[in-house]
Amino acid sequence: MKRIEKFIQKYHMLTCGDRVIAGVSGGADSVCLFLMLLELRKKIGFDLIAVHVHHGLRGEAADQDQQFVEALCEQHRIPLEIFRVNLESIAKKRKQSLEEAGRMVRREAFDSVCQKYGGNKIALAHHQNDNAETLLWNLSRGTGLDGLGGIRPVNGKFIRPLLCMNRKEIEEYLAKRKQSYCIDETNAETDYTRNKLRHLVLPILEEQVNSAVVRHMNETMEQIWELQEYMQEQVEAAYQECVQEHFEKACWIQIQQKSFETFPELIKKMVIRKGMEQVGGKKRDLSHKHVDVMMELMNKQVGRTLDLPYEMHAKRNYEGIRLEKQRTYSFGEEKKAEIMQECMSELNIPGETILADRNLKLRCKILEKPKNLSIKDIPQKIYTKWFDYGIIKSSLYIRTRQAGDTIVIDEKGHQKKLKNWFVDEKIPKEVRDSQLLLAENNEILWVLGHRMSQAYQVKQSTKWILQIEVETYKSDGGKENGRNNS
């Protein structure tokens, strides 16, 4: 227990007055986490709320897990929020694996409970064996410095107090307290790659290489965390010196070759990666290969260009490299829309999208439509809207107006050009070019702060709802709720 306390203190995980949301599946790891948080609750002075997600996958076994968690929380008088979902249906709908969909559903559940209780910390039960598996997984698939660090003990509001313990120590802790727990029989299967690492690869390393391999791998990752913090400081300083951002009326950056070339090779590569993440809006699918071709472009003649993921386009110019985001929209006979020089942000669905230049945060959730939904149940707030998720066919973007934009204005499906709608609604000319829109290609789903498209309204036939909330966002990490209280 003392080791846990020292680990929590080292990474500043918990303080007096926190409201901690803990994921409790009923397995050994989460039960251990639950009991340790119970012990620390009075000593540190925080509130504890438990969350259990029933994925609808394992029949009676899953029902028994839920009953176990209910009894555990009732015994210790801890509030419990239960979420029952059909994970297979959700995974199919979102075109995700069960593992990925499950992770996202749990994150949505945590976010929901955080909102309900004012939670500011989410405690997860990852331990050293999980981290060792993650490191092997990342190494096997190819990774950079971030991947070598595995799972971080603190990542935003997520905390992982058990990352200083291995699975054997967790089971010993529960045995000493004669505390039972649930066993998920699917964890013993080797159909999934992660399970193969757990049951086949790690045991061989422990038996034939070093019995303390898990501990040694975690010690190495802890050194990587320290290195990452230092490197982030260096990269941020270099980025500020050699990159000019243009995100107010456009979406591009200029990497200045003269100052860029003064930095070491590793820093230059990390600056390029940061630039791509800033313009593209995502980290996923940006690999070292994309960084390498950008490095090569810097040494090529002026005028050479390069296409990158997320509709990014790089061009070698006299100053260095200009990296911008651009998108082609298909409408009519697949004509290319006129792309206005405005920054577009793809919505993270589900998840959060931050528009730093507008000081806004958009929070997206996927909800299953209640069976007896009435019109009065649909939010009527100006900055909280429900959309029929089933008819959305491609990515959604928050952007400003573009040529060809239309909006459906009635139940019969009549469309109106957005520029005409602006005139009819007497939207001032000086704000039309900066008015934020939610768009799917050239169809406008929502003129933020004004009307929704009639085509995307929730109907009786709707099965899944996309809920979008807009909040005022402070860059210092705080938030104001004025946007979604109207």
Domains for the chain: give ranges and CATH numbers: 2-209 (3.40.50.620), 247-325 (3.30.465.60), 343-484 (no CATH)
Whether the CB-CB separation of 149 and 49 falls below 8 Å is answered with: no
Going from the C-alpha of 271 to that of each of 53, 259, 268, 420, 474, the distances in angstroms are 39, 12, 5, 43, 25
Q: Which residue has the higher pLDDT, 433 or 73?
A: 73
User: Is-contact 65 161, C-beta < 8 A?
Assistant: no
Instruction: Identify the DSSP state of 299.
Output: T
Mean pLDDT across the stretch 1-17?
92
What is the pTM for the complete model shown?
Answer: 0.62
CB 66 within 8 A of CB 56: no
CA distance 123 to 106: 12
Residue scoring higher pLDDT (190 or 56): 56
One-character DSSP codes across 238-273: HHHHHEEEE-SSS-EEEEEHHHHTTS-HHHHHHHHH
CA distance 99 to 87: 9
Q: What is the pLDDT of residue 480?
A: 46
CA angle 449, 474, 379 (to 5 degrees): 35
Beta carbons within 8 Å of 274's beta carbon, 6+ residues apart: 235, 239
Could you give the 3-state DSSP secondary structure of residue 15? coil
Q: Is the pLDDT of residue 248 over 70?
A: no
DSSP state of 455: G
Of 167, 54, 52, the residue nearest 113 (C-alpha):
52
C-alpha count within 13 angstroms, C-beta hemisphere, residue 474 = 7
The Cα–Cα gap between 375 and 11 comes to 47
Average pLDDT of every residue of the chain: 86
pLDDT digits (tens, 9 = 90+) for 287-341: 888 999 999 999 999 889 988 888 889 999 999 999 998 644 333 333 333 333 3
444: exposed, middle or buried (Cβ count in 10 Å: 0-12, 13-18, 19+) = buried
